[in-house]
Structure 1
């Protein structure tokens, strides 16, 4: 899905700001026709924002079900004859969109964009009442999964299986969009190079009949470096500037649609970078050079905002990534905003792009997360064919959105699922095939949980890269780093022996740490222990050539549901939730900035 742009043929108006807001306490507002008139409410809600942390009413914060958003929008008179849409960056987890009381679309999936075509209800120069029904409920058919518990007194509780707070709301920007009736609907770009010559292939999908012309422009200089014609085509870029980790380097593919007389019908520019990605033996190659991942699993999580996007908060996080010397991140555990991804493209930050498939493991849910499930994860009574189909949709939607991004080098299709059972293989095999079919140009992986080590995992052979989340020294061998190191080393050896030609990235390792807590002893929860914990892992990483990446868990402390193992959230961050560095941050800064220059793509915080 193309991001809305201002071009000579396209317009957009931001609908961010305050919307009328009403809680649907009985989840029957649609049936009662609330969308047919102005909401009877004096309450407002900011967009984008998570509902939960901006309200001072606990009932609103904990409501399970639907919320109504509404505002009246003015359609510009100059938009006559255009196709008019409302474009949502994300609504968590379900949305129903109405225009003047008429249902336009429904969308299931909380972290990817969708459009509502309101052309028939939005006359140029007139006003349209837009109503959005947001539903936060999860069940065994959603990705991520969950279930709603109804108590004897009629109250509802959302039980979910992921270890981060289940924020709800309109989380990313909303745009009113105008585009021509004949328009560019999609663009797929693939690149390669030989010597100093870049090769660019494009595939344009258009709505309506038109001639297609293409120009390739260097974003840095604005120079036209190549051109072509046709919905599909190939062009060469002489003296190509490669997209490189730590540097970036972007071009624009400008697509113009022309009528028979040569008049311009539509123009759209899609940025891209020329680079190659390959797994070769136990190496991960970007532009033919071995790449070593340093960085974090992260979260879109900030005080007050919750999961909502903010350019200022994005900028702060990226500045801290640069300061600490990281060259990469994983979008744990869902796709991040397009603005976030654009920044990574521009600045050369390497991304492991992850679907929202977290919580596909009822064994974990019944353990540290304090859940109640003890049943099999993959079955028709739990996570079955309906969930598998939704999971496939999430994979395909993610690839559709991010396929042209040079920063994205690896698809992660799930985080810590059950993978030690035959049922897991039956579930994942068709999803891996669907991923490769949707994008044959990038490696595919999933993130393996400690419960499924090398001698138990039934699906690791399906993937190109091993991604391991390990907590020796925290969830096992707590406080005993000597035995933790022995256990971690033994497991890594097991993986290397079973998969000798497969690279390993540690995508999570960490210890909860209360900022400001210190001890002369190796005491868990202290900043001192967190540093010693990281030093132990660093020794293991440096010992095995097959380990080609380290992404600490987590970049910053983040909010979770409350429980006896989570006091005001997860405290494994190198930074606090308000982005103050712990002692671990300075250790990582020193380690990552002192890695030898052969670590291709190392981001030097002193470069600017």
Structure 2
């Protein structure tokens, strides 16, 4: 037994630490000697042809109740125990998962789920903790779930960054890469009709092989040794159980997965091609089943249907289809149908399983000069965002989510990029319903060291993201990275292999990324993209204070990107930090007046570029102020938002609102909001 326990500790250590190697800053003669990992020297000669491709994800449909499925939320107040930063595997060694956390005699605190744990207390040790924390929740399972012979599933919307889950002391789930869902069937682990216990170990450490990358270092402190998580990305590394936890059931034979592809033909005929995966316990049962497929409109009227006996592939044709349109491109944006699937047996009127999947029907295409939706060229106007709010950190908050979408519509935006990681499934559903287009980004930000194991993890992150979001009408492109160090020669074979793989699973969307290099010719990544994106902060990081150095530099750089790669071009980030309430006349850097002047000059450059047709979008950085790590260059976080962190507008938001609605009027004949222009005088 002791040998098995030692093997288990070694196994978990390998899982959690393979991508999170701790580096020591040992003080030698007053100098810091950094111990580098020998296998990651930034080589350019890796053979990426031997990289193991991710195993395709199957299942993970969003939990929805139906006639055959029950869904129970495990959100609420859990218990949390913080491990010692110097001993992150203490809980494994002492087998905390086999007992209640309270019985370990360590300090227990209460912790809401979903939420980041960092800002919940007044303890800076918890806020800045590096290593593992342990969550625990007790729950009951109805007796009838056992009698009804259903499958019982445990599903996490996301845990940052790595998670190991036990149910009643038995290993149930493992997952790495925060921001993405994972689940498992736990029927064999639970006690029906009595109390059960979930224990989750969460590890927030980032290393050279995690997506994104980071580094944990040891430094001497007044209390002995401090463990510090370092990273180059400019947002706080919040951690915890960030999204909802669900317990749900399916029948033994059930609809396991749904893949949808839509298009609109020239004669206003809609088409949905679907591919189904059936999970079952008996092959003979499946042979006697069929699928009743019905498409219902917003009024719940069936507009198309079919009976499918092969249970795998099918096509629905929808006459007089109502297409999915982005906000302000149509009087009725975000039109969603409901695809109702009933798995039935010939001899039974009652379905074996029922699942209803929202679907928006639209066509998407692109070429070297444009991105078109339903045959109409798109011009994207929007933001880079963050999942970030006071107290909750990156935890799912439907109230904040609703406020954000109302502000997006108020300001006239039609798109945003999920910078710099996948956002919640609920946010994707909101985007579908509101007609907001999404550039869907994986969590690769500031990638610096390129090597095969990182590539495998990067591919896995994209595969999981694409599988999760492939059926959303709002998703118009996949972003494979933000500001990777693409001047390095090692980036070229790395991104060549990554793009080649991602295009093979891209589900009819183009690939893009946000580059940040001095000149387009220096970028080793953009040659592999379908849409060129770049970030540039003229009059901020470049020539700060000089708003007379914006229009021509921006215009010239965008033209160079297009001339180099002959692809559509988007500016993914521009802007400047602004302290709410600080004014200066004439405009001075950090003032609200400076932010509006900086925006206005960019608008002039963008309008010149729009005339060239291949320039297809402008994204402000950022939608709202957000928290970063502590540094003397950030006062309470990044202040580049046009809204404050509590979602109130700065002066620039009103200017941007006028521009975005004016573009919608000019391009799509959208109506102006009644309050867009304040009354000044009767000119008659």
Q: Classify the TM-score, shorter chain.
A: over 0.9
Of 288, 291, 313 in structure 2, the residue corresponding to residue 213 of structure 1 is 291
Check whether the contact 1:243–1:275 (CA below 8 A) recurs between aligned residues: yes
Cα distance between partner residues in 2 of 1:469 and 1:521: 27
Distance in 2, Cα, partners of 1:53 & 1:212: 51
1:462 aligns with 2:524: no
The aligned residue for residue 317 of structure 1 is 404
State yes or no: 1:253 paired with 2:318. no
Out of 255, 266, 269, which is 2:353 matched to? 266
Task: Confirm or deny: 8 A CA contact 1:212 1:231 kept in the other structure.
Answer: no
Give the 3 Å change call, closer, same or farther, for CA 589–603 of structure 1 in structure 2.
same
In the alignment, structure 1 residue 537 sits paired with structure 2 residue 615: no
Matched with 2:452 is 385
Match of residue 134 from structure 2? 68
SS in 2 for 1:154: strand
Q: 1:537 to 1:602 in 2, by over 3 A?
A: farther
Match of residue 22 from structure 2: none
Separation in structure 1 between the aligned mates of residue 304 and residue 591 of structure 2, nearest angstrom: 57
Contact 2:74–2:245 (CA under 8 A) maintained in structure 1: yes
**Residues 63 and 343 of structure 1: CA distance in aligned 2, closer, same or farther (over 3 Å):** same
Match of 1:151?
219
Alpha carbons of 1:277 and 1:125: their partners in 2 closer, same or farther (altered >3 Å)? same
2:367 matched to 1:305? Answer: no
* CA shift digits 1:130-176 (9 cap, x unpaired): 10111111111110111110224332111122110000010111111
Which residue of structure 1 aligns with residue 421 of structure 2?
334
1:412-447: CA deviations, max 9, x gaps? 111111122331111111211221111241111111
1:582 corresponds to: 650
> Over residues 215-235 of structure 1, what are the superposed CA-to-partner deviations in whole Å (9 max), with x where a residue is unaligned?
232341111111221320112
Give, in angstroms, the shift of residue 601 of structure 1.
Answer: 9.7
Which of 634, 644, 652 aligns to 1:566? It is 634
Q: Does 1:225 align with 2:299?
A: no
2-structure distance, mates of 1:596, 1:578 = 27
- Partner residue of 2:71? 12
Q: CA deviation at 1:290?
A: 1.0
Instruction: Pick the aligned partner of 1:37 from 99, 119, 124.
Output: 99
Q: Say if 1:290 and 1:600, in contact at 8 Å, map to a contact too.
A: no
**Alpha-carbon distance in 2 for matches of 1:118, 1:248:** 37
Please name the residue that 2:590 is paired with. Answer: 525
Relative to structure 1, the CA distance from residue 596 to residue 403 in structure 2 (aligned partners, 3 Å threshold; closer, same or farther) is closer
The equivalent position to 1:96 in structure 2, one of 157, 164, 167, is 164
Cα distance in 2 for partners of 1:446, 1:603 equals 33
Q: Secondary structure of 1:71's match?
A: strand
Gaps of 5+ in 2: 1-59, 328-332, 677-684
Which whole-Å CA distance do the structure 2 matches of 1:607 and 1:411 have between them? 35
Give the whole-Å Cα distance in 1 for the aligned partners of 2:518 and 2:181: 33
Shift of 1:123: 3.4
Residue 186 of structure 1 is matched in structure 2 by 257
Corresponding position: 1:396 with 2:463: yes
Quote the offset at 1:98 in angstroms: 0.3
- Give the Cα–Cα distance (whole angstroms) in 2 for the partners of residues 18 and 607 of structure 1: 42
Cα distance in structure 1, aligned partners of 2:507 and 2:151: 33
Give CA deviations for 1:358-407 in whole Å, capped at 9, x if unaligned. Answer: 1214xxxxxxxxxxxxxxx32xxxxx211111110110000110000000
**Match for 1:106 among 174, 183, 196?**
174
SS at match of 1:206: strand
Distance in 1 between residues matched to 2:110 and 2:602, nearest whole Å: 48
In the aligned structure 2, how far is the partner of 1:447 from the partner of 1:214? 43
CA contact (8 A) 1:291 1:599 kept: no
* Change in 2 beyond 3 A, CA 1:603/1:401: farther
1:350 to 424, 437, 458: 437
Deviation at residue 604 of structure 1 after TM alignment: 6.2
What residue number does 2:321 align with?
Answer: 240
Cα 1:199–1:483 change in 2 (3 A) is same
Q: State the secondary structure of the residue aligned to 1:261.
A: coil
Q: Which residue of 2 aligns with 1:373?
A: none
Which residue of structure 1 aligns with residue 186 of structure 2? 118
- In the alignment of these two chains, the number of paired residues is 586
- Give the unaligned 5+ runs of structure 1: 362-376, 379-383
Deviates more, 1:541-550 or 1:328-337: 541-550
Is the Cα–Cα contact under 8 Å of residues 290 and 346 in structure 2 kept in the other structure? no
Residue 663 of structure 2 corresponds to residue 595 of structure 1: yes
- Partner Cα separation in structure 2 for residue 127 and residue 291 of structure 1: 54
Q: What SS does structure 2 have at the residue aligned with 1:306? A: coil
Q: Measure the CA separation in 1 of the matches of 2:373 and 2:601.
A: 28
- Aligned equivalent of 2:575, options 493, 510, 522: 510
Partner of 1:366: none
What whole-Å deviation, never above 9, does each CA across 1:88-140 have from its counterpart, x for those lacking one? 00100011100111111210011000013211111321221110111111111
* C-alpha distance 156-47 of structure 1, shift in aligned 2 (>3 A): same
After superposition, what is the alpha-carbon deviation per residue over 1:241-266, rounded to whole angstroms, capped at 9, x for unaligned? 10011101111222222235345211
Q: Which moved more, 1:276-285 or 1:586-595?
A: 276-285
- Distance change (3 Å), C-alpha of 1:604 and 1:333: farther
| Distance (Å, rounded) in 1 between the aligned partners of 2:123 and 2:669 | 47
Aligned match of 2:116: 50
Aligned with 2:203 (options 135, 139, 143): 135
Structure-2 change in CA distance of 1:82 and 1:605 (3 Å): farther
- In structure 2, the residue corresponding to 1:53 is in which secondary structure? coil
Q: Deviations over 1:493-537 (max 9, x none)?
A: 21232234x211111101011111111123110111111111111
TM-superposed CA distance for 1:561, in Å, is: 0.3
Provide the secondary structure at the position in 1 that maps to 2:548.
helix
Worse-superposed segment, 236-245 or 260-269: 260-269
TM-score of the aligned structures, taking structure 1 as reference length: 0.93
Q: Aligned partners of 2:672, 2:61: CA distance in 1, in Å?
A: 33
Please, what TM-score do these two structures have when normalized by structure 2? 0.83
